[in-house]
Structure 1
Amino acid sequence: MTSAKYDVLGIGNAIYDVLVQTDEAFLVSHGMAKGGMALIDEARATSIYTDMGKATEMSGGSAANTIVGIASLGARTAYVGKVRSDKIGEKYAHDIRAAGVAFDTAPAAAGPATGCSYILVTPDGERTMNTYLGAAQDLTPADIDETAVAASSIVYLEGYLWDPASAKEAFVKASKIAHGAGRQVALTLSDAFCVSRYRDEFLQLMRDGTVDLVFANESELHSLYETADTDTALGQLRKDVALGVVTRSEKGCMVASKSGVIEVPAFPIETLVDTTGAGDLFAAGFLFGLVRGVDHKVCGQLAALAAAEVIQHIGARPQLSLKELAKKNGLPV
């Protein structure tokens, strides 16, 4: 196996985030399920944006947030995601490149606008997402650069990408290239609603070896195996995939492998502000640990640190250097 050009390459929906702090009444008035992610059309996007008031706007997307987090820890990263050649698309490309991430996906010259996610953050820090995929759903197998994928130690895929048919094909193509080059493939299940839509397909990806590592929170894990019992679900997860990492909010995480399950506590925080990006940055820390060759416990500690940083401010990308934060806390970088 040749040496890697990139430590981690992420593939996902390139989404511009529009965040606003609001109350429960706003969610009710717009018929939103608190804490979830709903796919919306352009008309509903316009309606929500019109009503939501002053917002914080920044580049986002689940896998992109993870890749930016890994870059902040000091690793070599690349990202594949589709934007439109519009103003938001140009800003998106600038932001991710400015974070030190290689981003070479050609923008769409026509078709839907760059995707946006309208994120409502309630006083308890919970985020409710309404996502207009726009150009993101037009990612195709042609956008997968075989050379870049084969040159990446780990290829990281987001479950949200499983919605558009062409993106599914791109997802599977990338996995085949990665495995052909002796690389690893990781998948985040993204959202319990996403799991409920594609449960059988996700399980197939795990059982046929398309993915080697799965990230999930407890809700996603329970949905995947249609059980409320975490131990039962973990037992099945260990059978279905080489490595599974389950986040449990303030209770930390569980790392499930063929050799057993270990628990890693959450990193302490001062104030919970916004949970947007918590899972994304958790995955960033864990994947960084893997490519640095540390054990699963230390991977979990790096993950907990990165997640703790992002939930203490608005937005899904780190505001501090995660590399410096890790050094300060005695973790390897």
Structure 2
Amino acid sequence: MKKYDVTGIGNALVDIEFKVTDQFFRDNNVEKGLMTLVDEERQNALMKVINTEEAKKQCGGSAANTVIAVSQFGGSSYYCCKVANDELGYFYLEDLKNSGVDNSLEGKVPEEGITGKCLVMVTEDSERTMNTFLGITQNFSVKDINDWAIKDSKYLFIEGYLVTSPNGKEAMLHAKKIAENAGTKVALTFSDPSMVKYFKAGFEDVIGPSVDLLFANEEEAMLFTGKDNLAEAREEMKKAAKHFVITQGKNGAMIFDGDTFIDIEPYKTVAIDSNGAGDMFAGAFMYGITNGHSYASSGKLASMASSKIVSQFGPRLKWHEAKEILARLNP
């Protein structure tokens, strides 16, 4: 019996989320709808012109959001990450702990440096734009991984954003090898279309012959496979993963369970904020498949959870909301 359902590896970023207008982007030369890496000076300049009093602050990073979701639905999760010995670093670890997630820095004093921050700007059309200063998390490496946690998990969940640095990619490869040798299944998320566009070769190295589970959206699936339609892309994806999920925004998702394709219906909602929808889908799905649910049932749970996320501000459910969604799945 393994201790954890899911161990994640990825960036540790304090998310600072706030609402903006399209005019804000024009005034401050921000490219809408993308995740852009920025330096600390640029991020601080943006923070000076926003109303930080109305901002929502919590621990984040794509894989962190996913393992928190696993925990909220009643699963057990662990996170390997890197924060600095500063106020935001301790805020991050406390928030992670309060979210029910064990982590690789428990009982340790973090290194000196600056904890990474992600400014999440949400417009009225619910689209999210991110400007990220990675800080110390850009140095995340093999030494920040607790091998025992991977060995003692049903699944390893790898964040695609790590592929951008040599040390991050090395950590991905190391974690995957530890998992495979321990009989722990491996899940990977592409994280963002720009990651697939610019680091496709890196992903191919990490995937190797195959991974157990791959998460992508439509654009990422087509970019990775080089196909210009989803029908061809999903056939090509079978070469990279034994099972995979392709999210399709308001059109729901499709899952390949190793045998057949399963269409997952969307749940109608009024979209307010798309931040964290993909992370939540992955987390709810991972909870499902590690806790006795079928792929179809796990997909339904993930669709319900992600539709709830886009209907509110912020990338996380409240604890009672997770319980209510589970109750709807198992009436």
Q: TM-score, normalised by structure 2?
A: 0.94
| Letter in structure 1 aligned against 2:188 | L
Q: What residue in structure 2 maps to residue 109 of structure 1?
A: 111
Cα distance in 2, alignment partners of residues 323 and 296 from structure 1? 19
Match of 1:94, as an amino acid? E
Q: Secondary structure at the match of 2:239?
A: helix
Unaligned stretches of 5+ in structure 2?
none
* 2:224 matched residue in structure 1: 224
Matched with 2:179 is: 178
Is 1:242 aligned with 2:242?
Answer: yes
Deviations 1:175-226 (A, max 9, x none): 11111111101011000011111112213433423x3211011111122123
Distance 2:212 2:26 in 1: 39
Does residue 1:82 correspond to 2:82, yes or no?
yes
1:215 aligns with 2:206: no
- Once the two structures are superposed, residues 12-51 of structure 1 have per-residue CA deviations (whole angstroms, 9 ceiling, x without a partner) of 1000011111111212233333221011111111111112
The answer to whether 1:190 aligns with 2:191 is yes
Q: Distance in 2 between matches of 1:34 and 1:107?
A: 37
More divergent stretch after superposition (133-142 vs 198-207): 198-207
Measure the CA separation in 1 of the matches of 2:309 and 2:116.
22
Contact persistence 2:257–2:295 (CA under 8 A)? no
Give, in whole Å, the separation in 2 of the partners of 1:17 and 1:261: 35
Question: 1:133 offset after TM fit, Å?
Answer: 0.5
User: What is the total number of aligned residue pairs between the two structures?
Assistant: 327
Displacement, 1:56?
Answer: 1.9
Say whether the 8 Å CA contact 1:281–1:306 is kept in structure 2: yes
User: Cα 1:199–1:331, aligned 2, differ >3 Å: closer, same or farther?
Assistant: farther
Percent identical residues: 33
Q: Which moved more, 1:50-59 or 1:89-98?
A: 50-59
Work out whether residues 169 and 206 of structure 2, in 8 Å CA contact, stay in contact via their aligned partners in 1: no
Corresponding residue of 2:318: 319
Give the distance between the partners of 1:326 and 1:121, measured in 2 at CA: 25
What RMSD, in angstroms, separates the aligned Cα atoms of the two structures?
Answer: 1.6
**Contact conserved, 1:267 with 1:301, CA < 8 A, in 2?**
no
Structure 1 segments (4+ residues) deviating >4 Å: none
Contact 1:73–1:321, Cα closer than 8 Å, also in 2: no
Kept in 2: contact 1:283–1:303 (CA 8 A):
yes
Secondary structure of 2:316's match?
Answer: coil
1:331, distance to aligned residue in structure 2 (A): 3.2
Match of 1:60 in 2: 60
Q: Deviations over 1:135-181 (max 9, x none)?
A: 11111211111111100100101111112221221111111111111
The match for 2:11 is 13
User: How many angstroms does 1:107 deviate by?
Assistant: 5.3
1:213-266 superposed Cα distances (whole Å, 9 cap, x missing partner): 110111111221233311111110012210110001111000124422111111
Q: Provide the TM-score with structure 1 as the length reference.
A: 0.94
* Alignment of 1:278 onto 2:277: yes
Cα contact 2:9–2:81 (8 A) shared by 1: yes
Matches within 5 A, 1:5-44: 5-44=3-42
1:40-98 Cα distance to aligned partner (Å, 9 max, x none): 11111111111222322221111001111110000011111100010000000000001
Looking at structure 1, the residues matched to 266 and 324 of structure 2 have their Cα atoms a distance apart, in angstroms, of: 15
